[in-house]
């Protein structure tokens, strides 16, 4: 049953979640589909840019969240200084789509990955990565010297018991001296990630860690180990960015160091862990106007109502992050008007399989139709938690306007 001569199709038309018969999300799009709401997106882009500028910091949004070049372009157009990435392959994808300044907030390990980065530097990328071990510094020094290239590196300061990074300022200074001894490496500042700080009073721990970053950066500078004339000091994920920004501002680092913040999830925000985190930001900073808005939703259809109190949706772990269960937000009738919103009060997703979600309904929606019974084919909008692990389930996302018309199909490059 193979047709060996079948024409290899245009890959752009083979994905899930695409407009098929028109641009109306509620009528023409193959569901499930990942949807970005333009109004909330535009709000978030401007909001975070304004926040960073108000704190004298540059914004290098973490691109690993979305890996969506069209969103990188929107972030850069809004004023971002560069894009942060997690791996060499991600950096290559971003560069190929026009991003010139790449902050790889991770170690560059393995000669194949070094070869990718060497190619980017040769092609004109302004590239930075982090180091935290003598072994890796020697590997990088050897590789880039052999290629006749200079590599800009930041030393990572970590947290005891957490992820990567030098443990304490002494290790930072020793590594700084080793970097200085490698001709091909240009020490360009200090990097950290406060998202791995743990403990009882996280807020004060994060502040304390941000001050450690400041002190280590100043010590490297004081000892003349930083070679880059415009060195970076960079930290911050999407949870504690306000505290990091405050400390960098208070420390008055902006006169010499370039303070760079790296939140990623803000761009589409969520209905889960980052909504809670943003509530905390607004609680700490009552002067800030409004918050971020959830822009990413996944739309799916009811495919079965097999017994009272149970609906099965045609969406699963293949389509949506499952660190936390998605949250039903609204229901529409297929082909209906966007104003015709139906209730999902009491709906609860209780189980996700690869391609199915189980919804417990608050009472019998099938056998005792009330004013608004659920039907097979009904469309449910779902809120997500942790956008990184929803984006990577999609090769294409639909950007929609307030009428739920698809105005752009956005490609991801995971």
Q: 334 to 373, contacts with a copy of itself by CB under 8 A?
A: 334-335, 353-356, 358
Q: Which of 296, 276, 309 is nearest to 394 (CA)?
A: 296
Q: Which is nearer to a copy of itself, 109 or 249 (CB)?
A: 109
Reduced to 3 states, what is the DSSP secondary structure of residue 81? coil
Q: Which is nearer to a copy of itself, 90 or 251 (CB)?
A: 90
Q: How far apart are CA 44 and CA 264, in angstroms?
A: 11
Q: What track of x and - describes contact with a copy of itself for positions 123 through 162 (by CB under 8 A)?
A: ---x-----xx-xx--x------------------x-xx-
Q: Which is nearer to a copy of itself, 59 or 251 (CB)?
A: 59
Contacting a copy of itself (CB under 8 A), which of 39, 46, 54, 98?
98
Radius of gyration of the chain (CA): 24
Tokens of 58: 């540059």
Q: Is 93 in the site for a copy of itself (CB under 8 A)?
A: yes
Q: Residue 328: beta bridge partners?
A: 382
Residues 164-203 within binding reach of a copy of itself (CB under 8 A)? 164-167
Tokens of 107: 């170690």
Q: Which is nearer to a copy of itself, 55 or 356 (CB)?
A: 356
Q: Which of 130, 147, 131, 145 is nearest to 184 (CA)?
A: 145
Q: Is 238 in the site for a copy of itself (CB under 8 A)?
A: no
Give the helix ranges, DSSP H, for 251-304: 273-284
Q: Are 27 and 379 in contact (CB under 8 A)?
A: no
* Length, in residues, of the chain: 414
Q: Please state whether beta strands 258-261 and 58-59 pair in parallel, antiparallel, or not at all (unpaired).
A: parallel
Contacting a copy of itself (CB under 8 A), which of 229, 286, 306, 339?
306
- Cβ neighbours of residue 11 closer than 8 Å, sequence gap 6 or more: none
Closest distance to a copy of itself from the beta carbon of 84 (Å): 12
Q: Which is nearer to a copy of itself, 293 or 317 (CB)?
A: 317
Q: Which is nearer to a copy of itself, 17 or 189 (CB)?
A: 17
Closest distance to a copy of itself from the beta carbon of 96 (Å): 4
Tokens of 384: 């997500």
Q: What track of x and - describes contact with a copy of itself for positions 43 through 82 (by CB under 8 A)?
A: ---------------------x--------x--xx--xxx
Contacting a copy of itself (CB under 8 A), which of 37, 101, 262, 271?
101
């Amino acid at each position: 049953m193979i047709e060996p001569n079948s024409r290899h199709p245009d890959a752009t038309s083979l994905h899930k979640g695409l407009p098929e018969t028109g641009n109306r999300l509620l009528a023409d799009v193959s569901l499930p589909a990942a949807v970005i709401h333009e109004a909330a997106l535009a709000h978030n882009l401007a909001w975070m840019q304004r926040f960073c500028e108000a704190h004298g910091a540059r914004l290098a949004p973490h691109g690993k969240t979305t890996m969506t070049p069209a969103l990188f372009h929107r972030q850069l157009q809004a004023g971002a200084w560069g894009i942060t990435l997690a791996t060499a392959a991600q950096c290559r994808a971003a560069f190929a789509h026009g991003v010139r300044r790449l902050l790889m907030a991770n170690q560059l390990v393995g000669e194949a990955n070094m070869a990718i980065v060497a190619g980017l530097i040769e092609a004109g990328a302004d590239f930075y990565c982090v180091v935290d071990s003598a072994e890796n510094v020697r590997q990088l020094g050897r590789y880039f010297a052999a290629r006749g290239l200079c590599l800009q590196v930041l030393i990572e300061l970590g947290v005891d018991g957490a992820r990567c990074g030098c443990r304490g300022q002494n290790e930072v200074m020793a590594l700084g001296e080793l970097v200085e001894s490698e001709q091909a490496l240009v020490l360009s500042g200090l990097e950290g990630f406060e998202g791995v700080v743990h403990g009882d009073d996280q807020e004060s721990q994060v502040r304390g860690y941000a001050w450690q970053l400041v002190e280590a950066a100043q010590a490297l500078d004081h000892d003349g180990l930083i070679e880059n004339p415009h060195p970076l000091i960079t930290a911050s994920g999407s949870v504690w960015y306000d505290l990091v920004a405050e400390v960098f501002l208070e420390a008055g680092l902006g006169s010499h160091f370039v303070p760079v913040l790296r939140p990623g999830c803000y761009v589409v925000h969520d209905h889960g862990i980052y909504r809670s985190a943003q509530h905390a930001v607004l609680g700490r900073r009552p002067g800030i106007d409004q918050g971020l808005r959830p822009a990413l939703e996944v739309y799916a259809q009811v495919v079965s109502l097999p017994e009272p109190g149970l609906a099965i949706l045609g969406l699963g772990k293949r389509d949506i992050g499952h660190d936390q269960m998605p949250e039903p937000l609204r229901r529409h009738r297929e082909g209906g008007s966007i104003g015709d919103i139906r209730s999902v009060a009491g709906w609860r997703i209780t189980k996700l399989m690869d391609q199915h979600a189980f919804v417990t309904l608050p009472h019998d929606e099938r056998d005792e139709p009330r004013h608004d019974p659920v039907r097979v084919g009904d469309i449910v909008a779902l809120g997500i938690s942790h956008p990184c692990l929803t984006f990577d389930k999609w090769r294409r996302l639909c950007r929609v306007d307030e009428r739920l018309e698809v105005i752009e199909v956005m490609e991801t490059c995971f």
